[in-house]
Structure 1
Amino acid sequence: MQLLLIAALGLTCATPALAADLPPKPVRLGLCAACHGETGMAQIPGAPNLAGQRLDYLRKALQEYRDGTRNVPLMRAAIGPVSDAELDQLARWYSAQAPQPQAHAQP
């Protein structure tokens, strides 16, 4: 019983520390979240999950969508004129999210 209490106390103390590691929620998250979800888990078929992706990959992909290097009109329109700082906030947010298991549809 004592071990169980110690473990519970340890988890209680660790939870705020884990939450403190998340970057602040980006102001520009709304439009991204419509397809990719606020926590990076896709909300619509065909949209990739972004939770837990590498920061450098997300940052580069967002830059390429913004600059037109990746020619995906939907993404270019969605990202719009985003600053480097806003782009970095979005990449940091999604890379810090923990991927969640997907629910599988029953046939």
Structure 2
Amino acid sequence: MRFVLIAALGLTSAQLAFAADLPPKPVRLGLCAACHGETGMAQMPGAPNLAGQRLDYLRKALQEYRDGTRNVPLMRTAIGPLNDAELDQLARWYSAQTPQPQAAAHP
């Protein structure tokens, strides 16, 4: 019985430590989540999964969409009003998410 209790406490502590490592959910996540999913797993066909992408890559890509270096009108419109701190929050959020396996497509 003591072993089960110790194991349960250990798992609970590990889960709390992992949850503490996640950055806070960005206030501006909603528009991104409509296509890319709240946890970075795409909700729309053709939208890339962002979960687990490198932080520096996401940060740079978001800045390039906002600034027009990457010419994707939908992304520029979605990101246009965001400042550097908000872009950083989004990049941190998505880079900290764990990618999940995709369900197999049915023909």
TM range (shorter): over 0.9
Closer, same or farther in 2 for the Cα pair 1:6/1:106, shift >3 Å?
farther
Instruction: Report the Cα offset of residue 80 of structure 1.
Output: 1.7
Task: Give % identity.
Answer: 87
Aligned to 2:48: 48
Instruction: Report the Cα offset of residue 5 of structure 1.
Output: 4.7
Structure 1 vs Structure 2 CA RMSD: 1.3
- TM-superposition CA deviations, 1:13-70 (whole Å, max 9, x none): 1111110111111111000000000000000000000000000000000000000000
| Structure 1 residue ranges without an equivalent (≥5) | none
Instruction: Tell me, in whole angstroms, the C-alpha distance in 2 between the residues paired with 1:16 and 1:2.
Output: 21
| Structure 2 residue ranges without an equivalent (≥5) | none
* Structure 2 letter corresponding to 1:45: P
Aligned to 1:25: 25
Q: Would you identify which runs of 4 or more consecutive aligned residues in structure 1 move more than 2 Å?
A: 1-9
Give the TM-score, by structure 1 length.
0.93
1:57 aligns with 2:60: no
Give the TM-score, by structure 2 length.
0.93
Aligned to 2:79: 79
Secondary structure at the aligned position of 1:89 is classed as helix
1:38 aligns with 2:5: no
